[in-house]
Amino acid sequence: MISTKIRLEADAIGDVGAATIRAVEAGLKRLNRDRVDFIQLHTRVTLERGAGKRFSLTPQDVLGPKGVIEGFKTMRDGGKVDYFGFSGLGEVTALHQLVDSGEFHGFQAYYNLLNPSAGQPVPPSFSALDYRRIIDRAAANGMGAFVIRVLAAGALTSDPSPGGGSSPEPLSPGSDYPLDVERAEKVKAVLGPDGKSLAQAAIRFGLMKSEVSTVLVGFSNIAHIDEAVACSGAGALSQDAITKVKQLWDTDFDQSKG
């Protein structure tokens, strides 16, 4: 099964559907393939179009006439793609509109031990972006969910690199890398035996939610791959560990509130 993504920029405005077709065709050419099984939109989606470095489309740009879905369907009719998805980044209300549209088969969800809001309840005061259990909403619409940033850009590893993170800008608001490293230390402290390999604990957490289809794991060396493979069949985190981590979520990682 082969999947790829397209990112549309401001020059797509005017005929987003046609730009979608061009982007898919260009991706197929780079892959030296006639078709892929799964195509995903990797442009953020917000209630109003975003400009500049973080260009974004609106739900209407995606779902409306001459929109992304129209382009995807044209490619499907031509035998170039089978299924449609999107990266769940942008404004939460807009992302929920895409889920509710019934046009998508799967999506990528930002979900990890530091920000579990895509699949777990968090308090109104939670400082990271609240995705309002979008994974559950997607499952109710028959969609698959593919977890991204399960290791929080490396913060949820046993030895996060100094000044790490894959981007100077957070992928998800409120999930700043240095702050996530501090949060990860608190998670590790309450996990007990499960925290000995923080990366494995993080992957197991992502996999233990039944509505999650798979976890996408980044890596930079063979050891990272071995650690991810070791999670296969490892089972869920203990209920005691989850209870303690939930206390961190409920206090927004401020243990003095506990």
* DSSP for 111-160, written as a single string: --SS--TTTS---TT-SS----SHHHHHHHTT-EEEEE-TTGGGTTSSSP
Q: Which residues contact 179 (CB under 8 A, 6 or more apart)?
A: none
Q: What is the pLDDT of residue 165?
A: 58
Q: Residue 156 phi/psi, 5° resolution? A: -90, 50
Task: Tell me the C-alpha distance between 38 and 193, whole Å.
Answer: 38
Reading the block at residue 163, the tokens are: 């000044």
pLDDT on residue 174:
94
The whole-number pLDDT of residue 172 equals 93
Phi, psi of 215, deg, nearest 5: -115, 130
Lowest mean pLDDT among 86-90, 141-145, 190-194: 190-194
Which of the pair, 254 or 158, is modelled with greater confidence? 254
- Short-list 72, 74, 3, CA closest to 33: 3
Nearest-angstrom CA–CA distance, 141 and 139: 5
Over residues 42-59, the pLDDT tens digits come to 999 999 998 767 899 999
Position 162 pLDDT exceeds 60: no
Ordered by start, the domain boundaries in the chain are: 1-104, 109-129+147-258
Average pLDDT over residues 23-33: 98
Q: Per-residue confidence at 68, pLDDT binned at 50, 70, 90?
A: very high
- Eight-class DSSP state of 90: B
- The separation between CA 88 and the C-alpha centre of its own chain, rounded to angstroms, equals 6
pTM: 0.94
Q: How confident is the model at residue 163 (pLDDT cuts 50, 70, 90)?
A: low
